[in-house]
Amino acid sequence: MVIVEEAPKVTLDPYLKDAIKTLMEEEALVIIHLHLHFPYVSKIRIWKSTFLKPHNNRKKIKLVHAINVSFYPMWTRCKIGETVCTLIFKGLPKDCTVFDMVEEIPEPGGFYIPNIQRNNSGVYHLQINYNS
């Protein structure tokens, strides 16, 4: 004889539930190659407060690593012409289709690139032209 009992109801701690959801959403990284065009010798740097902001979510997607650009307070010298630096962020939520890149800093001149259309690869090439 087989006795079938009703499965006990399991309640997940809200913090644990949120942590699991976050891990599932962040299964991939976002790679942004910034193609910076300078008409003069210049300097650049990035602040660790830089993040991606999905339009359909209040969560800030954290910057994980930067290549070919110094973190504040250091500077990277750029030659005339094109300099390419790469920013690596944690993954975007699966339902995100448009996002902004924001460098929140306590001085003028932070990066702000709005309305980046999400693609399937998670790799983006953004052109920024600095005029003299």
To 10 degrees, the CA torsion angle through 21, 111, 107, 46? 70
- CB-CB contact of 36 with 76 (8 Å): no
Confidence of residue 55 (pLDDT cuts 50, 70, 90): very high
- Give per-residue pLDDT as tens, 107-127: 988 899 999 999 988 999 999
Average pLDDT over residues 60-65: 95
- Which residues, other chains included, contact 107 with Cβ-Cβ below 8 Å and sequence gap of 6+? none
| pLDDT value at 41 more than 60 | yes
Rg of the chain over Cα atoms, rounded to whole angstroms, equals: 20
Residue of 87, 84, 82, 95 whose CA lies nearest to 38? 82
- CB-CB contact of 84 with 130 (8 Å): no
CA atoms within 13 Å, Cβ hemisphere of 116: 26
